[in-house]
Amino acid sequence: MPQEIYLDNSATTRVSKAAAEKALYMMTECYGNPSSLHSKGFAAEREMTAAREILAQRLSAQPNEVYFTSGGTESDNIAILGAAHAKKRAGNRIVTTAIEHPAVLATMAALEKEGFEVVYVEPDADGNIPAAKFEPVIDAKTILVSVMTVNNETGAVLPLKEIAGIIKRKKAPALFHTDAVQAFCKLPLSMKKLGVDLISVSGHKVHAPKGVGALAVRSGVRILPHAFGGGQEKNLRPGTEGVPQICAFGAAVREMPAESDAERTVRAVQTHLIERLRAMPEVTLNSPENAMPYIVNLSAGRVRAETMLHFLAQRGIYVSSGSACGKAKPSHVLTAMGLPRERIESSLRVSLSAENTTEEIDAFADALALGLQTLSHT
- Residues annotated as part of the active site: 325
User: In degrees rounded to 5, what are phi and psi of residue 310?
Assistant: -65, -40
Edge to edge, the sheet with strand 295-300 lists 283-285, 295-300, 347-351
User: Based on the number of CB atoms within 10 Å of its own CB, is 192 exposed (0-12), middle (13-18) or buried (19 or more)?
Assistant: exposed
- Output the CA–CA distances (angstroms, integers) from residue 139 to 91, 107, 167, 324, in the order listed: 10, 21, 8, 34
Q: In DSSP terms, which residues pair with 93 in a beta bridge?
A: 117, 142
Element (H, E) at 348: strand 347-351
Sign of dihedral through CA atoms 248, 249, 251, 257? positive
- The rounded distance, in Å, linking the Cα atoms of 352 and 359 is 13
DSSP 39: H
CA angle centred on 135, ends 130 and 140, rounded to 5°: 150
Q: Are 295 and 10 in contact (CB under 8 A)?
A: yes
Strands (E) across 250-331 are located at 283-285, 295-300, 317-318
Question: CA-to-CA distance for 198 and 59, rounded, in angstroms?
Answer: 11
Q: How far apart are CA 351 and CA 155, in angstroms?
A: 9
- Give CA 176 to chain center in angstroms: 16
